């Protein structure tokens, strides 16, 4: 079997992974530069790098430190090997695995850092957070907390929880193969002092992280949809929030039990900690379902009324509808020549065309090529010949499905964009009943001072 050489593997990696990434990077750099926002582009890149580097350092440090401590308690291990002479034991010195393990830790940390760097915007929003000055009616937190701080805290909690899970699994595996963790007489699970201390501390940290996760899920209930509306419902406030607070307490007690486990050979504290956490978690879900079924569902409209009011008030405040000033309009006023003169611009731009039939008309007289489509008609306003005019326009967009030959060259190199637009006033019509066109044809020809540059879309 031919040996696969490293340069070949490196070339495949560069071709499949690095080159497409560089193409995307270069395309984004060109686009941001074209619109004058290269500073924003470099800010996003630097934020990705900083977040990824910090995540890599934190994850690598925690994994490497945990595994190094476990590796120090295991000098060597044996495993059986079957050969023609029978079964024999092979002893492996842990020191010989140091470099492969460190490389594996670095690779895992790098992959997690890549995931973390994708949350750069969440980190920037937290870094530059500002208060909204409006508190929610249930937890009395500023609205900015839910926009800027909560997503960042959830990101950190999830990252720490994942790292602790990986560290715990790695430490368990090392202590198992090293003989510090296993079954004793009577098939009872036993752990040596080093394993108890190490796993007890990691278990306590993991349970504290789960407690933080439960604490963050309380305000998250105000941003999710679980009932007939978006936001906290009756079940959220009266069942799920109390259950989550109890879960925080259970996780805290479990963390203390995990620390106590480091001082005793019996594994009962660790078992109680795990059962306590999962028991409270399942019990909270069951309790919430019971409240929904027997308390809310029989009279949902009444139970949810206060929370519907919260939802409506928040919506009105978000769109500033609570600041609208109502004034009576009797409809008895009379128009005067002065009113008409003051609103001459509006009257001169009263539309004669509707966008739906106009879209069909544009398609019939101005698509010109079968592979161009007018998708929508938009309204806009421009100064034309010294007058403020309302116009209707539609861009001539490319429809690749209508190309005469859908070859790779046609779709990727030749027909890559739409071309030009059709534009006309809203209040004029030709003697034939067609719209007057200020900009038309291919290449675009303009009858007024407006121009399309560049015409490619």
CB 363 within 8 A of CB 374: yes
For residue 385, give every residue at least 6 positions away whose Cβ sits within 8 Å of its Cβ, in sequence order, or none: 448, 449
- Tell me which of 255 and 333 has the higher pLDDT: 255
Cis preceding linkage at 443, omega within 30: yes
Other beta carbons within 10 angstroms of residue 89's beta carbon come to 8
Task: Tell me what the pLDDT averaged over the chain comes to.
Answer: 87
Grade residue 141 by pLDDT with cuts at 50, 70 and 90: very high
* Tokens 């495993």 sit on residue: 79
Structure tokens that stand for 200 in this block: 């007890």
pLDDT given for residue 377 in this prediction = 93
Mean per-residue pLDDT for 88-117?
82
3-state secondary structure (DSSP) of residue 365: helix
Would you give the distance in Å from CA 421 to the centre of its chain?
Answer: 36
The pLDDT, as a whole number, for residue 411 is 82
Q: What is the pLDDT of residues 184-221, one digit of tens each?
A: 665 666 677 777 888 889 999 999 999 999 999 999 99
* pLDDT score of 1: 42
Q: What is the percentage of the chain residues whose pLDDT exceeds 70?
A: 89
The pLDDT, as a whole number, for residue 449 is: 86
Three-state SS at 230? strand
What pLDDT, on a 0 to 100 scale, did the predictor assign at position 6? Answer: 61
Q: Indicate the SS3 state at residue 333.
A: coil
With 60 as the cut, is the pLDDT of residue 3 above it? no
Asked if residues 222 and 136 have their Cβ atoms less than 8 Å apart, the reply is yes
Look up residue 356 and give its two tokens.
């739906």
Let me know how long the chain is.
457
Report which of residues 184 and 301 the model is more confident about: 301
Average confidence (pLDDT) over 257-282: 88
- Report the alpha-carbon distance of residue 240 to residue 243 in Å, rounded: 5
Tell me the mean pLDDT in the region 81-106. Answer: 71
Confidence check: pLDDT of 388 > 70: yes
H helix and E strand count, the chain: 16, 10
CB 236 within 8 A of CB 219: no
- What percent of the chain stands above pLDDT 90? 47
pLDDT tens digits, one per residue of 308-364: 999 999 999 889 898 899 888 877 778 888 888 888 888 888 888 888 899 999 999
What are the phi and psi torsion angles at 369 (to 5°)?
A: -110, 145
Give tens-digit pLDDT for 397-432.
998 888 888 888 888 888 888 899 999 999 899 999
The residue that leads in pLDDT, 254 or 4, is: 254
């Amino acid at each position: 079997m031919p040996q696969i050489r490293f340069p070949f593997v490196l070339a495949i990696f560069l071709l499949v992974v690095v080159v497409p990434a560089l193409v995307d990077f270069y395309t984004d750099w060109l686009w941001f530069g074209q619109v004058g926002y290269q500073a924003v582009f470099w800010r996003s890149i630097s934020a990705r790098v900083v977040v990824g580097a910090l995540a890599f350092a934190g994850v690598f440090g925690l994994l490497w430190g945990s595994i190094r401590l476990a590796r120090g308690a295991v000098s060597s291990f044996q495993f059986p090997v079957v050969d023609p002479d029978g079964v024999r034991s092979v002893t492996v010195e842990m020191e010989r695995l140091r470099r492969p393990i460190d490389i594996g830790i670095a690779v895992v940390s790098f992959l997690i850092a890549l995931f973390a760097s994708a949350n750069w915007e969440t980190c920037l929003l937290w870094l530059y957070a500002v208060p909204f000055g409006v508190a929610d009616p249930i937890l009395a937190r500023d609205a900015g907390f839910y926009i800027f701080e909560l997503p960042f805290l959830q990101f950190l909690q999830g990252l720490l929880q994942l790292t602790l899970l990986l560290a715990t699994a790695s430490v368990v595996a090392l202590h198992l193969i090293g003989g510090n963790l296993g079954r004793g007489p009577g098939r009872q699970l036993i752990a040596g002092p080093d394993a108890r201390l190490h796993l007890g501390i990691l278990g306590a940290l993991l349970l504290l992280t789960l407690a933080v996760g439960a604490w963050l899920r309380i305000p998250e209930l105000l941003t999710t949809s679980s009932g007939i509306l978006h936001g906290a419902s009756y079940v959220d406030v009266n069942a799920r929030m109390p259950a989550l607070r109890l879960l925080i307490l259970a996780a805290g007690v479990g963390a203390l039990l995990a620390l106590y486990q480091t001082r005793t050979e019996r594994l009962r504290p660790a078992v109680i900690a795990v059962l306590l956490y999962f028991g409270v978690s399942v019990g909270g879900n069951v309790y919430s379902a019971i409240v929904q079924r027997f308390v809310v569902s029989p009279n949902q409209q009444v139970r949810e009324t206060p929370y519907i009011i919260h939802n409506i008030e928040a919506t009105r405040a978000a769109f500033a509808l609570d600041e609208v000033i109502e004034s009576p309009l009797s409809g008895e006023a009379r128009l005067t020549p002065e009113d008409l003169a003051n609103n001459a611009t509006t009257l001169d731009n009263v539309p004669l065309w509707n966008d739906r039939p106009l879209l069909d008309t544009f398609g019939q007289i101005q698509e010109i090529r079968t592979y161009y489509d007018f998708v929508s008609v938009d309204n806009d306003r421009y100064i034309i010949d010294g007058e403020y005019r309302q116009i209707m326009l539609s861009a001539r967009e490319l429809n690749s499905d209508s190309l005469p030959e859908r070859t790779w060259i046609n779709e990727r190199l030749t027909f890559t964009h739409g071309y030009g637009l059709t534009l006309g006033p809203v209040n004029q019509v030709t003697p034939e009943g067609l719209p007057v066109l200020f900009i038309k044809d291919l290449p675009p020809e303009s009858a007024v001072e407006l121009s399309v540059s560049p015409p490619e879309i």
